[in-house]
Amino acid sequence: MRVLRSDMSSWKRGKRASHSFWKQSIEALVVFSLCVKISGCSDVDELMSTYPLIDGHNDLALQLRIRHNNCLSQVDLHNLSKVSTDISRFKAGHVQTQMFAVYVLCGAQQKDAVRLTLEQIDVVRRMCTEYQEFELVTSVQELKDSKDNGKIACLISIEGGHSIDSSLPALRMFYQLGVRSMGLTHSCNTPWAESSSNFYPVYKRENNSLTSFGKVVVEEMNRLGMIVDLSHTSWNTSSAVLSHSKAPVIFSHSSSYSICNHSRNVPDNLLLELKKNQGLIMVNLHNTFVSCRDEANISHVADHFDYIRKLIGAESIGIGGDYEGATSFPHGLEDVSKYPALIQELLRRNWTENELAGVLRNNFLRVFEQVERVRDQLSSKLPSEVQIPFEEAHNPCRLILKRPDPRSPSSDQSSGAEEIAVEPHQSCAVLPSGRE
């Protein structure tokens, strides 16, 4: 009997110990969950390894032109000085896909913008094929495959509609070269769309922020499966595009106007239209767009994320750092390796793993997939043959093709009557020296 009581006592002590163990385990699990949800003490590296970043905007190609005249043989992209971007820092920042901007100065608009754009596409294509860490991608599936293959995916985006010289055939040829996104303007108006900047007094119009030809450009981008980018466009142009586009659009590197009232940022009414469009705003990290001052910190950036999430939901948000294009960045976000610090701050502010998975990656994938879906729905539509009226795009370097005047001293008297005259013009080239 004594032995039985002893066994019973031991069993009860064991049961109490087991109960205490499970209770402590559950309490620890609850504490850990709260820690992840509230204080942001989860493993950010693990989160970003699972959902590596798709960044909407980087101007490394511009810096390669300015600093090295696009001579890739002179640089090692694994480690670059005097810039904020290289392969080593991409890896440290968990950047798995980068939308590389192809940008040429607005001063080239009436000159050789198309040639300069081709040269910038060339340097991005070379960069992303000559380095084994990179992989040039042109579709959602290729982007996903690149992650599985451990590659940094490269997407090409033209920054500024002046690059197509108001030509739909030029737009289509850029698509054939791998371009999958285009910003309709940069800091200058085009003959068919309006910029948020008044720096260049060109192609000014009243009450016509997106012309008939501009609408055709949007339609052709929808047909091709090219993402329409509204960063740098005026608010009126943005609103017109949001009403006209059949596919979701993006602001590839813009922030909230309500937090920082800079004209490059997006006001609430456009954010609400963007939500209806199922598009994406990819928050810019440049100090001037984040804090409206020369100085900023990570908290300032996170304020934009919080505000936009409250207004239109986390599913409408991405990240477009604008490294190499902008000149100053918040303390703690000085280069592309610092993205984990931003995610850490958002975790501290109660952002969930699902929300951050969207911000880092899934929201952009959803938009790109929908753009491709619209393309497939329009597959029976033939390429547009609309041409912009000559008077709308007239400039000294835009010619009317016509037969030569035999009375002109510049014409070749021995030539046949079917020859086309191309009259020479002075100063039809521009040398890039920096970013406006």
How far apart, in whole angstroms, are the C-alpha atoms of residue 61 and residue 47? 29
SS3 6: helix
Closest CA to 233 of 242, 225, 221: 242
Angle at which helix 268-277 crosses helix 235-244, to 10 degrees, equals 20
Q: Is-above-0.75 flag for pTM?
A: yes
**Position 148, amino acid:** D
Helix axes 268-277, 298-312, angle to 10 degrees: 60
User: Nearest to residue 138, comparing CAs of 230, 228, 231, 225?
Assistant: 225
List own/partner pairs for 197-204 with CB under 8 A and 24 or more apart: 197/232, 197/263, 199/106, 199/436, 200/106, 202/109, 202/110
CATH architecture of 38-378: Alpha-Beta Barrel (3.20)
**What one-character DSSP code corresponds to residue 98?**
E
List the pLDDT tens digit at each of the 436 positions of the chain. Answer: 444 344 444 444 444 444 443 444 444 333 334 343 433 435 899 999 999 999 999 999 999 999 999 999 999 999 999 999 999 999 999 999 999 999 999 999 999 999 999 999 999 999 999 999 999 999 999 999 999 999 999 999 999 999 999 999 999 999 999 999 999 999 999 999 999 999 998 999 888 999 999 999 999 999 999 999 999 999 999 999 999 999 999 999 999 999 999 999 999 999 999 999 999 999 999 999 999 999 999 999 999 999 999 999 999 999 999 999 999 999 999 999 999 999 999 999 999 999 999 999 999 999 999 999 999 999 999 999 999 998 999 887 888 777 777 776 654 444 433 444 444 444 444 544 455 5
Instruction: Tell which residue, 301, 331, 300, 305, has the closest CA to residue 316.
Output: 305
Pairing of strands 134-136, 227-229: unpaired
Decide if 405 contacts 168 (C-beta within 8 A): no
Q: Show the tokens assigned to 167.
A: 């030509």
Which residues does 125 contact at the CB level (< 8 Å), separation at least 6?
136, 156, 177, 178
- Classify the C-alpha dihedral 108-110-115-120 as positive or negative: positive
CB 139 within 8 A of CB 155: no
Distance CA 241, CA 360 (A): 25
CA angle 361, 367, 372 (to 5 degrees): 120
Residue 304's alpha-carbon distances to 190, 224, 343, in angstroms, are 30, 32, 13
Strands 95-102 and 53-58: parallel
Catalytic positions: 57, 59, 159, 186, 232, 253, 322
Nearest to 355 by CA among 344, 366, 365, 347: 347
Instruction: Return the sign of the alpha-carbon dihedral for residues 378, 184, 266, 337.
Output: positive
